[in-house]
Amino acid sequence: GNSVTQMEGPVTLSEEAFLTINCTYTATGYPSLFWYVQYPGEGLQLLLKATKADDKGSNKGFEATYRKETTSFHLEKGSVQVSDSAVYFCALRYNTDKLIFGTGTRLQVFP
Amino acid sequence: DSGVTQTPKHLITATGQRVTLRCSPRSGDLSVYWYQQSLDQGLQFLIQYYNGEERAKGNILERFSAQQFPDLHSELNLSSLELGDSALYFCASSVVGLAEETQYFGPGTRLLVL
């Protein structure tokens, strides 16, 4: 079946460091891929998405490229800020099936 | 603010009881989804409605049920509550429910079963 695997956290970084959070997926066909972010005490917010192979989603300095050949959708940011501290969820959706989430990766950024 | 509202924000109840969680989707969105977030199970899809009709079912227990009303708001009913039902319950909405659509999440209802 369809599934998402994320790197385990927490990821601890200093401000202005480079961030990568790995996400790989297993799916039949070509799903749409998403990154959601959950700030402490809040609901999930869409960070970025890509709906077909080689698409790059980007928002607020974050980027992720839909790689069909490696079935990956890694999240990157060139320079993290303390305000980026949150839990990040990779997710996929195939056709009108359910949104499937990874386990989430907690990011902690220190000044 | 996603435009999705959920009430109540917090709910504390006892085992065996029944509760109702309410969700109002974004204006214009026809599709509503319910998710459960717990420490041991992560984020799990429960059920989806589209324009009043059930469209997809996930890992929803038989003790749980949901419906979407003509004004498009939705309610999730949890009955015969157990300690393990303690979790954060999210509602999300999207326009019609296509795979590539963004789902907008509400702030969640935190349920504590004692």
Quick: pLDDT tens for B16-33: 999 999 999 999 999 999
pLDDT above 80: residue A95: no
Which residues, other chains included, contact A25 with Cβ-Cβ below 8 Å and sequence gap of 6+?
A2, A3, A4, A5, A31, A33, A71, A72, A73, A90, A92
**Region B89-104 average pLDDT:** 89
pLDDT above 80: residue B72: yes
Give residue A96's pLDDT.
66
pLDDT above 90: residue A29: no
Tell me if A37 sits within 8 A of A59, measured CB to CB.
no
Mean residue pLDDT of chain B comes to: 94
B100 Cβ under 8 Å from any chain A Cβ: yes
- The b/e string for B64-103 (b: 16+ C-beta within 10 A; e otherwise) is bebebeeebebbbebeebeeebbbbbbbbbbeebebebbb
Beta bridge partners of B66: B76
DSSP state for residue A8 in the 8-state scheme: -
Residues of chain A with C-beta less than 8 angstroms from the C-beta of B43? 44, 89, 101, 104
Specify the DSSP element, H or E, that contains B81: none
Residue of B6, B93, B103 for testing the chain A interface, max A β-carbons within 10 Å: B103
Beta bridge partners of A69: none
Nearest CA in chain A to B41: A103
Q: Which of residues 56-95 of B touch A (CB under 8 A)?
A: 56, 58, 90, 92
Tell me if A7 sits within 8 A of A104, measured CB to CB.
no
Question: If DSSP states are collapsed to H, E and C, what string results for A53-86?
Answer: CCCEEEECCEEEECECCCCECCEEECCCCHHHCE
**Region A38-54 average pLDDT:** 92
Nearest CA in chain B to A98: B45
CB pairs under 8 A between A and B: 52
Mean residue pLDDT of chain A comes to: 93
**Region B41-62 average pLDDT:** 92
Tokens 């359910």 found at: A98
- Chain centroid offset of residue B51 CA: 15
Residues of A at the B interface (Cβ-Cβ below 8 Å)?
31-32, 34, 36, 42-46, 49, 51, 89, 93-101, 103-104
First to last CA, chain B: 31
**Region B3-22 average pLDDT:** 97
Tokens 């509550």 found at: B81
- CB contact under 8 Å between B99 and A36, yes or no, is no
Beta bridge partners of A55: none
- The b/e string for B37-59 (b: 16+ C-beta within 10 A; e otherwise) is beeeeebbbbbbbbeeeebbebe
Give residue B61's pLDDT.
95
B42 Cβ under 8 Å from any chain A Cβ: yes
Give residue A82's pLDDT.
96
> Environment class of residue A37 by beta-carbon count within 10 Å: exposed (0-12), middle (13-18) or buried (19+)?
buried
The model's confidence at residue A90, banded by pLDDT at 50, 70 and 90, is very high
